[in-house]
Amino acid sequence: QCLLSGSWRSNTGCRMVVSILGKDGSFSGSYLPGPAAGGSRILTSPLEGSQQDAGPVPHPTFSFTVHWQLQAQTTAFLGQCYVGTNGDETLHAVWLLREAADSPDEDWKATR
């Protein structure tokens, strides 16, 4: 069984802390980007998300969003938690980062 609650670190040095899962699968926590994000003004930012099922499932899917402090950006993550044969839990996720665009003409470059 894979549990999202706790502290996670990515291979790029990002850190995520997830609170206890609610009965409905919802969770909250905090996210701090790693050194690859650059900039000294990067702060720990709040995250909100949900897991497909709060019950014991072997490899649950999840999603969460991070609203970045001091920046007009939001990132959405979508992934799945896996438990390896040695018992290690890993998260595999894709993400989209959305920056505020100044106009509809600038919309095309606002999502990475």
- The residue written with tokens 């991070």 in the block is 66
pLDDT at 96 over 70: yes
- Per-residue pLDDT of 40-57, as tens digits, reads 566 789 999 999 876 677
pLDDT at 81 over 80: yes
CB of 59 within 8 A of CB of 72?
no
Question: Structural domain boundaries of the chain?
Answer: 6-106
pLDDT at 28 over 80: yes
CATH number of 6-106: 2.40.128.30
- Per-residue pLDDT of 58-79, as tens digits, reads 888 999 999 887 778 899 999 9
- Nearest-angstrom CA–CA distance, 98 and 89: 28
CB of 76 within 8 A of CB of 63?
yes
